[in-house]
């Protein structure tokens, strides 16, 4: 039932399209990164060792805020100032293009990002952010930060 967030097509420069109704999503859930998954995990099962770590992320009802915005760019990877490490790539049935899964390279910062290219328009790339960064931007990007602020998204909220 995870409805895909409505996306707005700006189509001007590289990235300037943002999800319009994401404000409600942010206010809906309390932005708070509980812990990095796998902090304890002392027990080590036979085969499914990583299984325990997976279950560790039991956030119950706390769903992470996810912002999605489309970008019209030839390159899928948008340099938003953070360092991302790709941890997976899967092909979705709806789209012929594979979806890439990225994760922020930072201790305690479990922010995920998935990039998907539309099969209809190969020039359109959908970037979905999940979670918020709990650390300053490694490489400040004025352009990207402006977009975030314009859409009431603060990558570095005062906790």
Distance between CA 18 and CA 129 in Å, rounded?
A: 11
Q: Residues 6, 9, 51, 75: which binds DNA (CB under 7 A)?
A: 51
- Taking residues 136 to 155 in sequence order and writing x for each that binds DNA by CB under 7 A, - otherwise, the string is --------------------
- Contact status, residue 122 vs residue 97, Cβ threshold 8 Å: yes
Question: Quick check: 108 binds DNA (CB under 7 A)?
Answer: no
- Contact status, residue 116 vs residue 125, Cβ threshold 8 Å: yes
C-alpha distance from residue 81 to each of 5, 9, 29, 56, 159 (Å): 24, 23, 25, 29, 20
- Contact status, residue 33 vs residue 134, Cβ threshold 8 Å: yes
- Taking residues 113 to 132 in sequence order and writing x for each that binds DNA by CB under 7 A, - otherwise, the string is -x------------------
In the complex, minimum distance from the CB of residue 158 to DNA, in angstroms, rounded to a whole number = 26
Residue closer to DNA by CB (options 11, 41) is 41
Residues at the site binding DNA, with contacts judged by CB under 7 A: 1, 37, 47-51, 53-55, 83-94, 99-103, 105, 112, 114
């Amino acid at each position: 039932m995870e409805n895909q967030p409505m996306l707005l097509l700006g189509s001007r420069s590289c990235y300037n399209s943002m999800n319009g109704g994401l404000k409600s999503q942010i206010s809906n859930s309390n932005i708070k990164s509980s812990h990095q998954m796998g902090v304890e995990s002392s027990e080590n099962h036979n085969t499914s060792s990583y299984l325990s770590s997976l279950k560790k992320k039991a956030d119950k009802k706390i769903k992470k805020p996810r912002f999605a915005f489309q970008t019209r760019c030839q390159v899928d990877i948008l340099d938003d100032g953070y360092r991302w490490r790709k941890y997976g790539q899967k092909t979705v049935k709806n789209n012929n293009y594979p979806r890439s899964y990225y994760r922020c390279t930072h201790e305690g910062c479990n922010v995920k990002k998935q990039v998907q290219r539309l099969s209809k328009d190969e020039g359109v790339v959908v970037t979905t952010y999940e979670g918020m960064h709990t650390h300053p931007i490694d490489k400040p990007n004025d352009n990207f930060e402006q977009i975030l602020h314009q859409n009431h998204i603060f990558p570095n909220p005062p906790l």
